[in-house]
Amino acid sequence: EYGMEKPQGYNVSFHYNPHVEYHHFGSSHPMKPWRLTLTKQLIVAYGLEYTMDLYEPRPASFDELAVFHDRQYLNFLSHVTPQNAKPDDPAYIAFGFGGESNDCPVFDGLWNYVSLYGGASLHAAHNLTNKQSDIAINWSGGLHHAKKNVASGFCYVNDIVLAIQHLLTQNQRVLYIDIDVHHGDGVEQAFESTDRVFTLSYHKYGNDRHGYPFFPGTGNITETGPTDPSNRGKGHCLNIPLEDGIDDEQYKWLFKTVTDAVVQKYQPNAIVLQSGADSLGGDRLGRFNLNIKAHGFCIETVKGYQRPILVIGGGGYTPRNVARTWCHETSVCVGATLHDNLPSHIPYIQAFQGSENGDGILYPDLHNTKRHENVNTNQKLQNLVAKAMENLRYLEG
Ligand code: ZLM
Ligand code: CA
Ligand code: ZN
């Protein structure tokens, strides 16, 4: 109906187990797995499912997750329930649960949820190493804050680290790029002592007017990995700290300038792209002013490097715009163009209708300086790029 044809050249695979949708972090928690339901509905409504190989991956096993995570931590994750949780237990707190924020609640089916998104990223990574796909997509993954034995920032298991570990069995160098509005600290930390992974994160950084840092509080331009010159990981990390309100033109320029330089100097054999949608304008937790096509420009740019790519989700707290963005980015991966009027036969079409919700179109204007004034000046961004280029000189040896 929409005239989709399989474009030449790219084999794209889509890795998704719909059971992830049925998990709830709690009624007012910002992380809503049903945003994946909306995403899948848009992808199906536009006919994109016929342009990709679709897989429904099995959950990752305990042993597969233990390639990165501590077994004691996984033991805890696999047994804890809302009924048996002991919030005063020191182990509970040490594993990142509890505390006043309740960022990482214990909910029903937690273990099932983490093994599903972990399994999907692992399956996607396998498809790349088997050369079955050029681009493998898992919108349910991208949980970049999880540490080997600590849950953090809505992330319990780090599917990205697991996927990169698998890619390293066949690739000498893997580049990790993170456009989520938060710093990709868990991935950076996991590979801080190797030169076989380069981590690059773009994010909001700095304190709010009450002096509280934007989560997780790390990722300044000066943080480039270990400082000890005998550590192989030295210089193999680049952080791009940004301020509130960055707009499309600034972000696109910055992303292309810096990422082009990293790819040219590091020469990765494979790329993992975390495409967190909380960097869009209008996100419930984010602070940027990006439109969907500017966010998608990052995927287009990375596709242009002609390396195997694992595309994964991440944050994104205004579900209708998460769905729009990831549908658009799926179309970018397969090389299709989508019309702006949403197909009418979408089950949850009301989520996209009305002036507050984007008027039934795929690309509503999300730029809103009333919500977040742009305090990034072009001069500040130029200075940032100059510092980034300076940091990259370390790669020349
Ligand atoms: N305060 N409920 C991004 C992870 C961001 C930690 C600041 C007290 C929330 C947030 C949870 C329902 C990714 C922090 C917060 C609140 C310490 C964060 C539960 C609202 C709610 O309503 C909420 C009771 C909750 C959490 C807001 N948490 C907003 N921002 C961050 C974590 C994850 O996008 O990067 C990848 C998926 N946490 O700022 C505090 C430090 C406690
Ligand atoms: Ca980021
Ligand atoms: Zn985020």
Confidence of residue 100 (pLDDT cuts 50, 70, 90): confident
d(CA 334, CA 252): 21
Q: Which atom of ligand 1 is nearest to the CA of 101?
A: 42
Least confident of 14-18, 94-98, 119-123, 327-331: 94-98
What are the pocket residues of ligand 1 if the criterion is a CB atom closer than 6 Å to any ligand atom?
26, 28-30, 100-103, 143-145, 153-155, 180, 182, 215, 276, 278, 285, 314-315
List of E strands, the chain: 12-15, 53-55, 135-138, 174-178, 197-204, 237-242, 270-274, 309-312
Mean pLDDT confidence for 49-55: 98
For ligand 1, atom 28, the nearest C-alpha belongs to 103
DSSP states of 231-283 as a string? -TTTT-EEEEEE-TT--HHHHHHHHHHHHHHHHHHH--SEEEEE--GGGBTT-
DSSP states of 61-81 as a string? PHHHHTTTS-HHHHHHHHH--
Closest CA relative to residue 321, chosen from 354, 381, 288, 364: 364
Centre of ligand 2 to C-alpha 86, Å, is 33
Q: Which of 20, 29, 103, 275 to mutate to test the pocket of ligand 1 (most atoms within 8 A of CB)?
A: 103
- Report yes or no: 269 and 306 within 8 Å, Cβ to Cβ: no
Which domains are delineated in the chain? 12-57+117-396 (3.40.800.20)
Residue 348 confidence (pLDDT): 95
List of E strands, 25-69: 53-55
- Report yes or no: 391 and 238 within 8 Å, Cβ to Cβ: yes
- pLDDT of 135 over the 50 cut: yes
d(CA 231, CA 259): 24
For ligand 1, atom 15, the nearest C-alpha belongs to 101
- pLDDT of 157 over the 70 cut: yes
Confidence of residue 1 (pLDDT cuts 50, 70, 90): very low
List C-alpha distances in Å: 161 to 217, 271, 303, 304. 20, 13, 21, 24
Centre of ligand 3 to C-alpha 70, Å, is 24
Rounded to two decimals, the pTM is 0.97
Residue 2 confidence (pLDDT): 47
Q: Which atom of ligand 1 is nearest to the CA of 153?
A: 4
d(CA 139, CA 91): 31
Q: Highest mean pLDDT range out of 6-10, 76-80, 90-94?
A: 76-80
- pLDDT of 230 over the 60 cut: yes
Active site (catalytic) residues: 183
Centre of ligand 2 to C-alpha 196, Å, is 20
Q: Which residues contact 382 (CB under 8 A, 6 or more apart)?
A: none
Confidence of residue 101 (pLDDT cuts 50, 70, 90): confident
Q: Which residues pair with 136 in a beta bridge?
A: 13, 310
Q: Which of 100, 101, 121 to mutate to test the pocket of ligand 1 (most atoms within 8 A of CB)?
A: 101
Q: Which atom of ligand 1 is nearest to the CA of 315?
A: 34
- Element (DSSP H or E) covering residue 114: helix 110-129
DSSP states of 183-201 as a string? --HHHHHHTTT-SSEEEEE
Residue 286 confidence (pLDDT): 98
Confidence of residue 99 (pLDDT cuts 50, 70, 90): confident
- Report yes or no: 213 and 206 within 8 Å, Cβ to Cβ: yes
User: How much is the mean pLDDT over the chain?
Assistant: 96
Look up the ipTM and state it. 0.96
Centre of ligand 1 to C-alpha 152, Å, is 10
Confidence of residue 4 (pLDDT cuts 50, 70, 90): low
Higher pLDDT, 1 or 365: 365
Q: Which residues contact 219 (CB under 8 A, 6 or more apart)?
A: 183, 184, 185, 201, 203, 205, 239, 241
d(CA 250, CA 388): 16
For residue 160, how many other CB atoms are within 10 A of its CB? 31
Nearest ligand to residue 104 Cα: 1
- pLDDT of 7 over the 70 cut: no
Mean pLDDT confidence for 171-200: 98
Centre of ligand 1 to C-alpha 103, Å, is 5
- Report yes or no: 288 and 180 within 8 Å, Cβ to Cβ: no
d(CA 287, CA 297): 19
Higher pLDDT, 7 or 106: 106
d(CA 203, CA 384): 13
For residue range 303-329, list pLDDT tens digits in order.
Answer: 999 999 999 999 999 999 999 999 999
Peptide bond into 216 cis (omega under 30): yes
Q: Residue with structure tokens 């970049």?
A: 144
Closest CA relative to residue 182, chosen from 209, 151, 142: 142
